[in-house]
Amino acid sequence: MSTMRIPSVMRRYFSAAAMACLAVCFSSALSMHAQTTILTPQDVSKIMPGTVFFRGQSATVQMRNTFGLRFADGKLMLAGLVDSSGYSSGIREKYQGYLLTETTLMIDGMGLPAGAYGFGFLANDKFVVMNIGAVDVMNFSDHTDATMPHPRPLAIVAGKRPGSFRLYEGRKFVTIQVK
């Protein structure tokens, strides 16, 4: 039985080539999963409930005005405008949308734990987040983007820094990051 000997230079070359190939494949796989993905209304409509509970009632979600994020770890954040016509005027003024998050978010630097929330962009450049009992858990100034070319009722776009996103209502926005 004869065995073929591979010179040590060739063995090192093949080992280095195999390691380089594995490194490229591994880093490609990681980078594919390390990205946060913006979900379209079509993506979100498959997972966002059609009606949501808030302050003792159910509200219909406007699926055409829903967006979301799938974070690198696979967790989701979903946001959609709601039909709040059955609510009192005090709640209807603040309750414009529904936010579901599976992870802690940083919204303009403030932490918001995983959960279900109502939100609204209010007059006087204010943004509010409420728990499902309609109690404010965040209330701060929003921002205005005068350069927004085609404002929509609700949108999520990539922010200026990697890993940050902007939740827009028209030209008003807040910045969202995963904690």
List pLDDT tens digits, range 21-34: 433 333 333 333 45
Q: Same structural domain for residues 50 and 115? A: yes
The pTM score is 0.79
Burial 125-145 (b: 16+ CB within 10 A, else e): eebbbbeeebeebbeeebeee
CA dist., res. 97 & res. 78, Å (int): 10
Question: Domain total for the chain?
Answer: 2
CA dist., res. 100 & res. 133, Å (int): 15
Q: Same structural domain for residues 20 and 93? A: no
Q: Same structural domain for residues 61 and 17? A: no
User: Which pLDDT score, from 0 to 100, does residue 66 have?
Assistant: 96
Q: Same structural domain for residues 94 and 15? A: no
Q: Within the chain, where are the H helices?
A: 8-33, 41-45, 89-94
Q: Same structural domain for residues 42 and 19? A: no
In the block, tokens 């709040």 appear at: 84
* Mean pLDDT score across all residues of the chain: 86
Q: Same structural domain for residues 61 and 113? A: yes
Q: Same structural domain for residues 53 and 22? A: no
User: Which pLDDT score, from 0 to 100, does residue 42 have?
Assistant: 92
List pLDDT tens digits, range 115-156: 999 999 999 999 999 999 999 999 999 999 999 989 999 999
Q: Same structural domain for residues 84 and 162? A: yes
CB 16 within 8 A of CB 8: no
Q: Same structural domain for residues 1 and 60? A: no
Q: Same structural domain for residues 45 and 118? A: yes
Q: Same structural domain for residues 11 and 48? A: no
**Residue 48: which domain range?**
37-178
* Tokens of residue 94, six digits: 């603040």
Q: Same structural domain for residues 49 and 30? A: no
Tell me the average pLDDT across 57-69: 96
